[in-house]
Amino acid sequence: MPAILEHGETWSYQQLWAHISRAASAMLKAGISHGDRIAIWAPNRREWIVAAIAGQLTGAAIVPLNTRLKGQEASDIIRRTSAKALFTVKDFLGTNYPEMIAGEDLPSLSMTICFDSGWADFIATGSYDDEAVDQALNALNASDVSDIMFTSGTTGIPKGVLTTHDRIIPMFANWTQLVDLREGDPYLIINPFFHSFGFKAGFVAALLVGALVVPMAVFDVKKVITHIEQDRIAFIPGPPTIFQALLAELAGRSFDYSSLHSAMTGAATVPPSLIRRMHDELGFERVLTAYGMTECTNITSCVPGDSPELIANSCGKAIPGMEVRIADEEGNEAPRGETGEIHVRGYGVMLGYLDDPEATAEAIDPDGWLHTGDVGTMDENGYVRITDRKKDMYISGGFNCYPAEVEKLLANHPAIEMVAVIGVPDDRMGEVGKAFVVLRPGVTLTDSDLISWARDNMANYKVPRVVSFVERLPQNAAGKVVKTELRI
């Protein structure tokens, strides 16, 4: 059964296991063992998967590093986790990662192995049938820390999120059923492996169900189309921007998307029009939305049988084994339909933040509820609609304005391809909305026309007072719009 397809070469599941067990043997011989941490700083590639699973086999926790980090940022995480080994590359988009941390004080780091130069020599030190690997696997507990993923740090110093094996495996075994990821499905993983969407909902989910992993190091819509046509891709998850780019490309030329059957997307803003277009224009049989975060990778999801309208206007209900509630300002459960902070409780909630009991206690209350910092509502059937991040809300003329809600309304305009909204200072209103708009190919629109349309389609206090037309929106490696760059 094929497991990974990369650069035209396919590894079977048997071959993948052979690579993993040999790499685990090499790690054990190099002194990596239960309780250690290993950092991985590289783009999506098959060696990333091998190193991650091999490290976990030894009992170590993996520390994924964002490929856009600078040397000082990466070094801080390596120090804070006491990572013993770093697996990286010397060349990715012109960046030499080992050079970026040269000269940094990293007392725990004893080895740096590059996938693109020293990896083959490293795994050659391991054995295919090493009893030490079997012993390490037998000593592994479900409650052991599997990974330490760091938050984006948009509201302060990035925090290390501690997750255990028994928080991941059951969650994504269920997830594969929800999204209809099938055995043998070619699964194009565009979401970066350093992110939960590419790691846990990515290759972990694929391996659990026996799908074929097709890793993609950098999002390029033309290369995505090549993969769809040549590799007969069946399943693609990702933020809305991925599918918006595919639809924009389809407007210019046709391509064979007949192999596609399922997609998963999610964000504070998923325009209903996008869901409809994914069904109608890209041929997806099933399009679902979901909601999660680093501290609890999957919180809610739509389920098979949900109506297109429900899927387009919510991020689903609590996944099996998890509880979700909307809380008011006092922390009490709010009546259905009212807006409040989203809280989640259950087996998927993180163990806590690395070496930060105060932040852990602030995030997880004594009753076990994780306070997500996201704002939303819940209907009578438990379906959640995300309004926005609490920190992104702005107040215009005394009214709370949630950018994600305004973005969703604006996205219904037939000329708009993508849109992002932020609050900007205003002498009279305190703050007003500013919309950054990417138009669909071949159409024109003026700011006054858009504002006029908005007045007809939303409450006046939600209408953006300023419009800026741009060719593209700034995005991070996970495909999310970076609003801090819009505020500059």
Query: 417: closest CA among 441, 433, 449, 444?
Result: 441
Helix, strand or coil, per DSSP, at residue 335: coil
- From first CA to last CA, the distance across the chain in angstroms is 50
Q: What is the DSSP string of 365-414?
A: -TTS-EEEEEEEEE-TTS-EEEEEEGGG-EEETTEEE-HHHHHHHHTTST
Q: What is the per-residue burial (b if ≥16 Cβ within 10 Å, else e) of 159-179?
A: bbbbbbbebbebbbebbbebb
Q: Say if CB 217 and CB 43 are below 8 A apart.
A: yes
d(CA 140, CA 403): 45
Q: Which residues contact 413 (CB under 8 A, 6 or more apart)?
A: 445, 450, 453
Q: Say if CB 206 and CB 181 are below 8 A apart.
A: yes
Q: List pLDDT tens digits, range 255-307.
A: 999 999 999 987 655 777 888 889 999 999 999 989 898 999 999 999 888 88
Beta-strand (E) ranges in 19-101?
A: 37-41, 61-64, 85-88
What number of other Cβ atoms are within 10 A of residue 91's Cβ? 11
Q: Which residues contact 324 (CB under 8 A, 6 or more apart)?
A: 299, 300, 317, 318, 342, 343, 344, 378, 382, 384
What is the per-residue pLDDT for 462?
Answer: 87
**Residue 230 Cα to chain centre, angstroms:** 26
* pTM of full prediction above 0.85: no
85-88 and 111-114 beta bridge pairing: parallel
> Which residues pair with residue 378 across a beta bridge?
384
Q: What is the DSSP string of 266-325?
A: --S---HHHHHHHHHHH--SEEEEEEEETTEEEEEE--TT--HHHHHH---EEPTTEEEE
d(CA 69, CA 71): 7
What is the per-residue pLDDT for 475?
Answer: 85
Residues of the chain where predicted confidence (pLDDT) is lower than 70: 152-156, 267-269, 388-391, 397-400, 477-478
